[in-house]
Structure 1
Amino acid sequence: MSTETFTAYAITCLLISLAPGAGVISSISTRLNKGFTCSLWNLAGLECALSLQIIAVICGLGAVLASSEVAISVVKWGGAAYLLYLAFSQFRSASTTGLEKQINHSSSGFDIFAKGLLTNLSNPKAMIFILALLPQFIDLRESIVSQYTIMGITMIGIDAAVMIFYTFIASKATNLISNEIAMKRINQAFGTCFAAMATMICLVKI
């Protein structure tokens, strides 16, 4: 892979990661509601899911999923249902009292990891997008395996860096937002975003 091709690919990955999506909202929401440690568990879950999607594409499972109407429908509606669950959780968080928030704040690392994992896996368009993106930057004259490995590591690294950036922004906001009413409005906004994403998945034909 030439330097020019790799640079173009890296820029593409950066722009994709910067675009607001379920992962970004999950990163910001987790940092604001659960704290820094939980945000790291959420990040691990998000990137683990992205790793699984990339591996699935490389192994050919992405093509199988894209060609199977039943499989894509299961992932699509399951993903939409999970995003609606996240929306409900955000609205529920917005209505909890101070004591209840202290209890909710003590979520285990595994729970937060699973949330991040399922958040990224719940979007069937992501795997199909990766399936369409990666081959565009492959040089058939060079080792396919090494190129896919470099591209996968690059995509995960850039996405992780962007999520950390959003988490850092959220940490600054945490210092400014001490008003419980303001946090309630923010959680309601996150809930609305998750619900909107679920609606988009339902309406868009994949």
Structure 2
Amino acid sequence: MIPLNELLLFAGAALLMVLTPGPNMVYLISRSISQGRMAGFISLLGVIAGFLVHMLAAATGLTALFLAVPLAYEILRWAGALYLLWLAWQAVRPSARSPFEAQDLPIDSTARLFLMGFLTNALNPKIAVFYLAIFPQFISPQHGSIFLQSVVLGLTQICVSFSINLLIVLSAASIATWFSRNPRWLSVQRYFMGFVLGAFAVRLAFKQRRNA
């Protein structure tokens, strides 16, 4: 199985992804503020269903293919590093917008809330790149079944994302209000996140491929 230190490192990478502003965070915050916590929670369930699609796609063959083809692995490794650097730049660029600036959304039914949460995540390029470019870096044939490793990593990422996003849904209004009264902390959060993402990108770029 995957060594504990590697699993914890992956959990840290998953935590960075969920804390980095993106379509999921913006939608859940806006929905929770516009329509209430229950609407935000139902939308979150749709987001989790989207994660399952990404996880199953990786677990049923993509990861094994990329590990088997050294060139594909190297391309994805560098693509993952460049993508993390791009996220770092998005965090620190002068015109970066806070995800806690809620958007006005219409009142939707329960079914539509779930569907919109699902589509927001299933079509989220940030999550797709995470599963395609970063996910395979933590899998090795030496640790047993690639399918099982993929499922373990996928469930780990889903648990991390669900926990953080649930906190965001439950406290969206309070967090948005606090940040509006303390705008300097938005800059601190942005630059700290940019530094951490940049450091992780450098680590990924110089990471050696595991032998089969």
Shorter-chain TM range is 0.5 to 0.7
The residue number in structure 2 matching 1:157 is 159
| Contact 2:22-2:126 at 8 Å conserved across structures | no
Using the alignment, how far apart are the partners of 1:159 and 1:46 within structure 2? 10
| Contact 1:49-1:121 at 8 Å conserved across structures | yes
CA shift at 1:58, angstroms? 2.0
| Contact 1:57-1:127 at 8 Å conserved across structures | no
TM-score normalised to the size of structure 2? Answer: 0.59
The residue number in structure 1 matching 2:128 is 127
Using the alignment, how far apart are the partners of 2:61 and 2:129 within structure 1? 11
The residue number in structure 2 matching 1:139 is 140
Deviations 1:158-196 (A, max 9, x none): 11111112112314358x69xxxx9xxxxxxxxxxxxxx
TM-score normalised to the size of structure 1? Answer: 0.61
The residue number in structure 1 matching 2:16 is 15
Using the alignment, how far apart are the partners of 1:124 and 1:19 within structure 2? 13
CA gap of 1:173–1:125, structure 2 versus 1, over 3 A, is closer
Using the alignment, how far apart are the partners of 1:147 and 1:58 within structure 2? 8
Superposed, 1:80-91 pairs within 5 Å as: 90=103
Structure 2 residue runs without a partner (length 5+)? 67-71, 73-102, 181-212
Structure 1 residue runs without a partner (length 5+)? 68-89, 94-103, 183-206
Aligned AA for 2:33?
A: L
Using the alignment, how far apart are the partners of 1:57 and 1:3 within structure 2? 21
SS in 2 for 1:60: helix
Cα RMSD, aligned residues only: 2.7
* Count of residues in correspondence between the two structures: 141
CA gap of 1:115–1:2, structure 2 versus 1, over 3 A, is same
Query: Identity over aligned residues, as a percent?
Result: 27
Aligned AA for 1:29?
A: S
CA gap of 1:40–1:125, structure 2 versus 1, over 3 A, is closer
Using the alignment, how far apart are the partners of 1:125 and 1:37 within structure 2? 25
CA shift at 1:110, angstroms? 0.7
